[in-house]
Structures are given as C-alpha cells and as structure tokens.
Amino acid sequence: MKKVLLLAVMSFALLLAACGSSSTKTFSYEEEGLTSEMTFTYNGDTVENEVSTTTLEYEALGLRSQEDAESVLADFALDLEGVEGVTYNFEYGETEAVETLEIDYNTVELSELRSAGIEIEGEEDADTISMEQTEANLIDEGYEVTNEGESEE
C-alpha cells in the first residue's frame, strides 16, 4: 500500500512539474538581404519571453556603406529606451546592420510596446501574448518553425 501511495504522490508531483514548465519555439524568415529569427519562451498559450534578431545586408538594400545605412535605417530603429522588460540594440557593421530585441512579457507593459511602435496583432485588449496567435501571425508573414522544445531554464 505504501508503494502505491508513494507512486501516486510521485506521479502527481511530476504532473505538477510538467504543467509549470516552459517551452520554446523558434521561427525563421529569410529573403535576399534579410534574415530574421524569433525565439519565444511560453507556458501553455502565454508567451513569457521573446528574443529576436534581424540582419539587414546593405548591398541587398541598395546601400553602399555603413554611413549610408546609418542615415537610411536610423528612422526604422525603435525607441524603446526606458521601457522596463525590454532590451533593444541596433548595431551597424561594415556590410550589415543587426537589430536585436528581447522582451520579458512578465515585466513589460503591453501598452508601452504599442506606444513604441511594436504591433501586437490580434491582441489589442489583451494583458498577455498568445503563443497560438503569435505563431499564426508569423506563419502568415512567411516565417517557418525551425525549432521547438522544452525550455532549459
């Protein structure tokens, strides 16, 4: 009887641990001169974290130099300074620019993201980001799922 009870308790503990674990899903998009990779950490249908990297090649954009790129692309850089839960960087190299964005959805206010110009389609009044809706939007935009699994956190 003790073995059965112990087995039941262990099974329940494993079930609880599995329910609370996060998963990851990575999406990639590529066209001439542009590559984008977005990795989401989510629990159930709620996105907890996003890390995205976009690389823009100057030559494919018709730009001749880093200076040209800085003058043309500066208007496209997001103004996320001071937004809690967001790390944003736009770096210019010799032949390409790299934009990196990390969002901690457990910390950030979605209204601040909207104000900064980040579109949250299908989520106008939501307090959280839906992984299912995010995946559908990205697939519609031409992204492909390139990796998914449990988070290593």
Average pLDDT, the chain: 83
Domains of the chain: 21-148 (3.30.1830.10)
Q: What is the pLDDT of residues 61-109, one digit of tens each?
A: 899 999 999 988 887 777 888 889 999 999 999 999 999 999 999 999 8
Structure-token pair, residue 105: 């959805």
CA-wise closest residue to 39 among 110, 135, 119: 135
Q: How far apart are CA 76 and CA 72, in angstroms?
A: 8
DSSP symbols for the chain: -HHHHHHHHHHHHHHHHHHT--EEEEEEEEETTEEEEEEEEEETTEEEEEEEEEEEETGGGT--SHHHHHHHHGGGS---TT-TTEEEEEEE-SSEEEEEEEEETTTS-HHHHHHTT---TT-TT-SS-BHHHHHHHHHHTT-EEEEEEE---
* Phi, psi dihedral angles at 61 (to 5 degrees): -90, 0
Q: How far is CA 130 from CA 40, 47, 92, 125, 133, in A?
A: 11, 6, 32, 12, 5
pTM (two decimals): 0.80
Q: Which is more confident, 10 or 35?
A: 35
Specify the pLDDT at position 124: 67
